[in-house]
Amino acid sequence: MHQVQDITAGQAYRGREAGRAAPFLPMSRPEMEQLGWDSCDVIVVTGDAYVDHPSFGMAIIGRLLEAQGFRVGIIAQPDWNSAEPFRCLGKPNLFFGVTAGNMDSMVNRYTSDHRLRHNDSYTPNDEGGKRPDRAVIVYSQRCREAYRDVPIVLGGIEASLRRIAQYDYWSDKVRRSVLMDSKADLLVYGNGERAIIDIAHRVAAGEKPREMTDIRGTAMVRNGVPADWIVLDATATIDESIAAPPGPPAHKAAAEPTVLRLPAYEQVKDDPVLYAHTSRILHLESNPGNARALVQRHGDKDVWLNPPPIPLTTPEMDSVYALPYARAPHPAYGDARIPAWEMIRFSVNIMRGCFGGCSFCSITEHEGRVIQSRSEGSIIREIEAIRDKVKGFTGIISDLGGPTANMYRLACKDPAIEAVCRRPSCVFPDICKNLNTDHDPLIQLYRKVRAVPGVKKVHIASGLRYDLAVRSPAYVEELVTHHVGGYLKIAPEHTEPGPLAMMMKPGIGAYDQFKQMFDMYARRAGKKLYLIPYFIAAHPGTSDEDMVNLALWLKKNGFRADQVQTFLPSPMSLATAMYHGGRNPLRPIRRQGGELVATAKGLRQRRLHKAFLRYHDPENWPLLREALTRMGRRDLIGSGPQHLVPAGQPVGAARTAAAASRAGRDRPGKSFVTQQAGAGRRPRPTKTPSE
């Protein structure tokens, strides 16, 4: 398998121009002319506004290729109704790079209730509707119309999470790999720095992207499996109790490469059980140290996935964040407000990846489980750049984090063990004994950042893994004493063992332990601080009774959530496989038997679960009273402190509440009882023990 060894090494494509950074990557022909360009080598088409900052994918890829000597242009949020806007920078010499942006375009555009969002944080003035649905497919089609012979390379989270056949919540069906629907030449999944540098240099040398079959972290369409490969059929293992598909014979393993054949698109599209099995296999083959190539048939073609990319080293991470970003939106936007930029303009990303493996989250599928950390020097230099260059800086760093705030420099104690591990999570059902949980490097980083001249306050706003934090009381004390301003948001997601097990989250006892430490250190610091917990409604494995218990917990602890989250099945996640297939892909999938997972699918049932999170809202009371009566829990209806909702509506709220109740009857909900596998008895709620 071909692999770029160091993203900072290699000969620049245009040696005499290497090191000449544009103020901004050009978005127009006049800008190209000012730079002395007659053409671009690579043109990146993106669904986001162009913000030249390392939190935006198009900026990282563009600046990285620029540092390699390539001329890179940006077409941001083009009008997709014709091919003309895709010709605005002329014909690229090498390829189009196409991305939907920092979010999947469907997640960006629609709520979990299928409602249209009218805003878009990645668009000037928060305006909605500036990118198409399924943007990767639409943009690719327009690029092909604009210049039919120019190769198209897909990247970004939408392409990454749709690289094989995937369940699509909005159409309620399994869709083909985005490679097939977009007719692109190559797809880069995960963090794409290594792959995109390799691709650019090889295209410049005359190679065609469709012929690049040996680059890690890429997917492509092939006519079949080469004769010298061993093919293992994953479909045949569905009824076997296995940890992973079997490896090749020992005498052949060293000599012949192996590819794992997943069930074909035509099989999984109409078979939710086989889909869940496929999801399980995909996630077992996600460790860069031992993952095998995967192949999935689509009609008469194969979609081929090479193993994941090798994580970046600390020096490579530092080089990515040291690129000459303008750290601002492109001047073409004038004074327009871009909410996503405003949110991160004074924040610093210190690491990538997440080994939490939460089943509903896309971070692990995209960035991987191996933590990639920057050096202290790199982080401090970025903070100094914010202080010196970013307008409006008042001395406050809004966040020092990443996918998870406190995984900085945490890793497996033994690289040899890490290379062969197939656990989907390092912290579930328990924290692995081989995981280094030492928070001292992070504590030292916090202290050094606070000492930077001009820095008055450093907040930690990224999600905190509190089951790890309690392993380091010194970290919790440092965090509470210096880095929490009023309140800290964390995400227990639920209180009950059944849904928590399906989420791969720790039990609520870990939250209680963290809260106890948090409150103690807040008192010692003489501060009045609060924890704000986040919860998810209607996650697979959640019963009505689970939501009642969560609502009672919220009331007991005095929480009244204003904004709540209903589970949204994002492409390729394990929780989405549970939602679609009704099976638990965290364990071997079987036709007969296996672990079933109950899921709220009807609109009424999903709204009910959301209503329990907002038990205090009068609009939800009719729906809750009806549900509590049906469940035999009228003891929770009344005006006493032990009750969840009152028996009547307040004056003026009756009409609104009645409308809300009627809305809940739009479609019937599905039952929340599921039968124990193989049992011939009356169905009853299934509980899965937590860790």
- pLDDT tens string 564-597: 889 999 999 999 999 999 999 999 988 887 789 9
CB distance 304 to 213 below 8 Å: yes
Mean of the per-residue pLDDT values of the chain: 90
Q: For residues 342 and 69, give the distance between their C-alpha atoms in angstroms, rounded to a whole number.
A: 31
pLDDT digit string (tens) for 488-533?
Answer: 999 999 999 999 999 999 999 999 999 999 999 999 999 999 999 9
pLDDT for residue 33: 96
pLDDT for residue 288: 95
pLDDT for residue 561: 83
Average pLDDT over residues 628-633: 97
pLDDT for residue 235: 82
pLDDT for residue 15: 62
* Residue 250 confidence class, pLDDT cut points 50, 70, 90: very low
Q: For residues 63 and 66, give the distance between their C-alpha atoms in angstroms, rounded to a whole number.
A: 5
User: Helix (H, G, I), strand (E, B), or coil: what is residue 463?
Assistant: coil
User: Exposed (0-12), middle (13-18) or buried (19+): which is 15, by Cβ within 10 Å?
Assistant: exposed
Q: What values do phi and psi take at 387, rounded to 5? A: -60, -40
pLDDT digit string (tens) for 660-687?
Answer: 444 443 333 322 222 222 222 222 222 2
Average pLDDT over residues 260-279: 96
The token duo for 469 is 């934090």
Neighbours of 482 (CB within 10 A): 17
Average pLDDT over residues 280-309: 96
**pLDDT cut 70: percent of the chain above it:** 90
Residue 224 has pLDDT above 60, yes or no: yes
pLDDT digit string (tens) for 461-498?
Answer: 999 999 999 999 999 999 999 999 899 999 999 999 99
Under CATH, which architecture does the 29-305 domain have?
3-Layer(aba) Sandwich (3.40)
CB distance 257 to 229 below 8 Å: yes
Residue 89 has pLDDT above 90, yes or no: yes
pLDDT for residue 652: 62
Residue 246 has pLDDT above 80, yes or no: no
The residue type of 30 is P
The token duo for 377 is 């020097």
Least confident of 35-39, 203-207, 430-434, 660-664: 660-664
**566 beta partners:** 537
Residue 387 has pLDDT above 80, yes or no: yes
Provide the strand spans (E) within 306-378. 328-329, 347-349, 351-352, 372-373
CB contact set of 470 (below 8 Å; sequence gap of 6+): 476, 510, 513, 514, 517
Q: For residues 407 and 421, give the distance between their C-alpha atoms in angstroms, rounded to a whole number.
A: 19
| Closest to 485 in 3D by CA, of 430, 524, 522, 447 | 522
Query: CA geometry: angle at 108 spanning 104 and 112, to 5°?
Result: 105
* Side-chain half-sphere exposure of 441, counting CA atoms within 13 A: 17
Q: Strands 72-76 and 396-397, how do they pair?
A: unpaired
Name the CA dihedral angle for 656, 662, 666, 669, rounded to a multiple of 10 degrees: 110
pLDDT for residue 365: 82
- H or E element, residue 498: helix 497-503
pLDDT digit string (tens) for 322-359?
Answer: 999 999 999 999 999 999 999 999 999 999 999 999 99
Least confident of 236-240, 527-531, 625-629: 236-240
Q: Strands 258-262 and 293-298, how do they pair?
A: parallel
CB contact set of 416 (below 8 Å; sequence gap of 6+): none
Helices within 76-231 (DSSP H only): 105-109, 135-146, 157-160, 178-182, 193-204
Domain boundaries, the chain: 29-305
Question: How far separated are the first and last CA of the chain, in Å rounded?
Answer: 38
pLDDT for residue 548: 98
pLDDT for residue 644: 96
DSSP string, 42-95: EEEEESS--EESTTSHHHHHHHHHHHTT--EEEEES--TTSSGGGGTT---SSE
Residue 127 has pLDDT above 60, yes or no: yes
Residue 113 has pLDDT above 70, yes or no: yes
Q: For residues 597 and 582, give the distance between their C-alpha atoms in angstroms, rounded to a whole number.
A: 5
pLDDT for residue 108: 95
User: Exposed (0-12), middle (13-18) or buried (19+): which is 280, by Cβ within 10 Å?
Assistant: buried
Q: For residues 388 and 398, give the distance between their C-alpha atoms in angstroms, rounded to a whole number.
A: 16
pLDDT for residue 242: 35
CB contact set of 216 (below 8 Å; sequence gap of 6+): 1, 2, 3, 194, 195, 288, 306, 307, 308, 309, 310
* Residue 83 confidence class, pLDDT cut points 50, 70, 90: very high
Q: For residues 521 and 27, give the distance between their C-alpha atoms in angstroms, rounded to a whole number.
A: 50
Whole-structure pTM value: 0.91
Q: Tokens 């671009």 sit at which residue? A: 40
